[in-house]
A and B are shown apart, each in its own frame.
Chain A
């Protein structure tokens, strides 16, 4: 099987290079996902790491102050105050009640300083939590009933 030696060597070189590229310096590329609940449980570990927190934008909480955008993220019963001061404009789908992700770092003053905001994509492949459009009715399957 001597002739396979060259192939094996080349394959090892290619794969080895890729694995090295994947792991070297990936530390800078990592962002930790946390829910608001998990964030409060992180304690001191929360400060200084790049985090990504998700939640719903609390209605009426969006404020534009001093070149920063302040809003509150809400998930279940927990809330998080977020300050975004990045230069990129906010995504088009960012509004009251939208699901949003904030990338950034937690500050000791209790505010989450976001460097990037993403808001949920406009397509509705997700079943909404309540599963219905803006009206009150609940979803009913199949038969009419009077």
Chain B
């Protein structure tokens, strides 16, 4: 079986190389049969990579421990879900999974565009298959998943494998990599179309229209992947938080930030023909950040909790990045004439301006996170010392950035194109502004004096009100004309313009997430060594350890604390945090006990046993408003899905269409 797998990926490598050459040469020399052959080669690559993946998955599911990869990442007792998920839980398998997703996406792109964009498609295919060639090169020659275990020339099979670390045996963690990969790989498609559009000197925006839904879905997967990682960190790791600004966490966030900027700036190009160069730069940046993210998780670049050792594979990615960036930069600079803007910025109080600042601040945040993540390498280049920056540094920058972004989220959609009149400003912002200010006053009087939380809550209310008013105005108008009730009218309103109202819902999700983030400013924590009968106080809660139990089963030893919780004197139930020490891997997991409520979470972690083995080290946290981070994430997903639904009414707006580009001055006046 391993030979079938090895052969399949080797053939895939050759065929992908052929596909690149056939598509590009066929297009340059205008040979239709070569181009068709290139398209078919794409399907062949998909078939071959699928065969190779099937071989690996089969080996994982049947526990074929002759394979080094299977022995490393699976074991007999592992539940089937995690045996399957072992496909992407290790270096070689995850690179094959990446490749499988890329080959699937490429095949889908070829199939859905088989009768369209005939001018561009061979280049689009060429870009995608070049990326395929790179990953297949890694699959074959650098990180081959089909290696066998051998001892002095003879193949051996171990009785059982190492298996998956117990701390990762959690459903959210099983799908976290696939979600992120669907994001990382997905951005290759709009990138390829952008490059195809540049190479063929298209003056129009067809590449944006074609890839709009694709980009939105990819962005959704990426965001979901980031959320899942945070949810896992919070519910499983036991340190009480959900984001540590670790380099690998940052790697997944970077393309999401630039992707968000891109989603907004393409609206500028579609509606006003502006920011064309910028969009090219943004989509390229997003794609290369995906490659950077993929490589950072595999180590070599920066030290992090996820990747300590120097890894061989880093240098291949860096080379690929360098070559890709050079080629893309050359192409954009060479085609600048075709990317001239069709309109100008007129007023600071305009929608164009708010898009500009939206992009500016998102890219600033992207750059800040990138700077912080790569700082050890940068400082090493400058001073010879590797210096790392901690979470406080990131938060010091990201909090003001986030607040500014939140502000833009409220005012941007309500600014007019070109210039907003003072009258309109007053109409749209007077009442939300007054309400937000009133809230700030009330909160201040209630005892909250820190500036950032006050500003945050104020902006959250401001944005929420502007969104609600938008829905209300539109629904009211429809209800008045059709006699529907307000709720049905709101649904009808959304259906008529899913992009706009879906977008408003996404913004609402962001508001909820920010409410969750702001709660962090009020977190409380306590640590105490406790024995049976002891109590711990935190916030309004009292935790009494009713019993401290321990036990054992074939897999692990466990310690459990059974706590009776009371709040303000009333009993509200029990929490039972547990610590498990796994015998085979000698690793431990915390089964965190969390009482999750919309206003605050009570989070209790069994840290371990004290030195004398008599008492338990218990950590308790009160995390206000965390619930809204997860709720906001769900609203964000829902809003994005609504954006993807086709609108009932196709929006028509007047737009100049670029007819052509002249490189010399052409005098169009009639003779005089």
**Interface of A toward B, CB cutoff 8 Å:** 3-4, 6-7, 10-11, 14-15, 17-18, 21-22, 25-26, 28-34, 52, 54, 64-67, 87-90, 92-93, 95-96, 99, 101, 118-127, 129, 131-146
Query: Which of A10, A134, A139 is close to B68, meaning CB atoms less than 8 Å apart?
Result: A139
The answer to whether A30 and B388 touch (CB under 8 A), given A137-B149, A144-B155, is yes
CA distance A7 to B238 in the complex (A): 46
Residues from chain B with a CB closer than 8 A to the CB of A129 are 309
CA distance A76 to B594 in the complex (A): 42
CB pair A6 B348 closer than 8 Å: yes
CB pair A14 B361 closer than 8 Å: yes
CB pair A139 B147 closer than 8 Å: yes
Residues from chain B with a CB closer than 8 A to the CB of A145 are 150, 153-155
Identify the 9 closest CB pairs spanning chains A and B, nearest first: A140-B150, A89-B607, A122-B165, A33-B386, A29-B393, A137-B149, A137-B151, A121-B306, A64-B611
Pairs across A and B, CB under 8 Å, 16 listed: A17-B400, A18-B401, A22-B368, A26-B393, A54-B308, A67-B610, A90-B608, A99-B308, A124-B91, A125-B90, A126-B311, A127-B143, A127-B312, A133-B68, A139-B150, A142-B146
The answer to whether A126 and B298 touch (CB under 8 A), given A33-B386, A89-B617, is yes
**Interface of B toward A, CB cutoff 8 Å:** 2-3, 6, 68, 71-73, 89-91, 94, 143-144, 146-151, 153-156, 158, 161-162, 165, 167-168, 237-239, 248, 297-299, 303, 305-309, 311-313, 345-348, 353, 356-357, 360-361, 364, 368, 371, 376, 385-390, 392-393, 396-397, 400-401, 404, 527, 586-590, 605, 607-608, 610-611, 617, 619
CA distance A133 to B69 in the complex (A): 9
Candidate in A22, A32, A119, A133 with the most chain B CB atoms within 10 angstroms: A133
Which residue of A has the minimal Cβ distance to B356? A7
Which residue of A has the minimal Cβ distance to B396? A21
CA distance A24 to B167 in the complex (A): 38
Counted as pairs of residues, one from A and one from B, with CB atoms less than 8 Å apart, the total is: 198
Query: Which of A10, A34, A122, A136 is close to B168, meaning CB atoms less than 8 Å apart?
Result: A122
Candidate in B72, B361, B389 with the most chain A CB atoms within 10 angstroms: B72
Query: Which of B161, B385, B392 is close to A29, meaning CB atoms less than 8 Å apart?
Result: B392
Which residue of A has the minimal Cβ distance to B142? A127
CB pair A32 B386 closer than 8 Å: yes
CA distance A66 to B612 in the complex (A): 9
Return A91 CB to nearest CB of chain B, in Å. Answer: 8
Return B458 CB to nearest CB of chain A, in Å. Answer: 19
Return A36 CB to nearest CB of chain B, in Å. Answer: 14
CB pair A132 B149 closer than 8 Å: yes
CB pair A142 B608 closer than 8 Å: no
Residues from chain A with a CB closer than 8 A to the CB of B68 are 131-133, 139
The answer to whether A124 and B607 touch (CB under 8 A), given A92-B588, A135-B158, is no
CA distance A52 to B385 in the complex (A): 11
CB pair B357 A10 closer than 8 Å: yes
CB pair B345 A7 closer than 8 Å: yes
Which residue of A has the minimal Cβ distance to B236? A92
Which residue of B has the minimal Cβ distance to A29? B393
Query: Which of A32, A125, A131, A137 is close to B306, meaning CB atoms less than 8 Å apart?
Result: A125
CA distance A125 to B158 in the complex (A): 21
CB pair B298 A15 closer than 8 Å: no
CB pair B162 A133 closer than 8 Å: yes
CA distance A6 to B313 in the complex (A): 47
CA distance A4 to B352 in the complex (A): 13
Residues from chain A with a CB closer than 8 A to the CB of B149 are 132-133, 135, 137-140
Query: Which of B158, B167, B400, B404 is close to A133, meaning CB atoms less than 8 Å apart?
Result: B158
CA distance A7 to B527 in the complex (A): 50
Residues from chain A with a CB closer than 8 A to the CB of B303 are 33, 54, 101
Return B344 CB to nearest CB of chain A, in Å. Answer: 8
Residues from chain A with a CB closer than 8 A to the CB of B305 are 101, 118-121
Given contacts A14-B404, A18-B401, A125-B299, 19 further A-B contacts (CB under 8 A): A3-B345, A17-B400, A18-B364, A18-B368, A31-B390, A87-B527, A88-B239, A88-B619, A92-B589, A101-B303, A119-B305, A120-B308, A123-B165, A123-B306, A134-B162, A141-B6, A142-B6, A145-B153, A145-B154
CB pair A122 B587 closer than 8 Å: yes
Query: Which of B91, B357, B611 is close to A126, meaning CB atoms less than 8 Å apart?
Result: B91
Residues from chain A with a CB closer than 8 A to the CB of B587 are 92-93, 95, 122
CB pair A126 B309 closer than 8 Å: yes
Candidate in A122, A123, A137 with the most chain B CB atoms within 10 angstroms: A123
CB pair B71 A133 closer than 8 Å: yes
Residues from chain B with a CB closer than 8 A to the CB of A33 are 303, 376, 385-388
Which residue of B has the minimal Cβ distance to A35? B386
CB pair B150 A11 closer than 8 Å: no
Return A65 CB to nearest CB of chain B, in Å. Answer: 7
Query: Which of B148, B297, B346, B361 is close to A125, meaning CB atoms less than 8 Å apart?
Result: B297
Candidate in A4, A122, A138 with the most chain B CB atoms within 10 angstroms: A122
The answer to whether A67 and B611 touch (CB under 8 A), given A14-B360, A30-B387, is yes
Query: Which of B346, B388, B527, B611 is close to A31, meaning CB atoms less than 8 Å apart?
Result: B388
The answer to whether A92 and B590 touch (CB under 8 A), given A121-B305, A125-B307, A137-B149, is yes
CB pair B345 A4 closer than 8 Å: yes
Which residue of A has the minimal Cβ distance to B72? A133
CB pair A15 B390 closer than 8 Å: no
Return A16 CB to nearest CB of chain B, in Å. Answer: 11
CB pair B154 A29 closer than 8 Å: no
Query: Which of A26, A95, A134, A137 is close to B150, meaning CB atoms less than 8 Å apart?
Result: A137
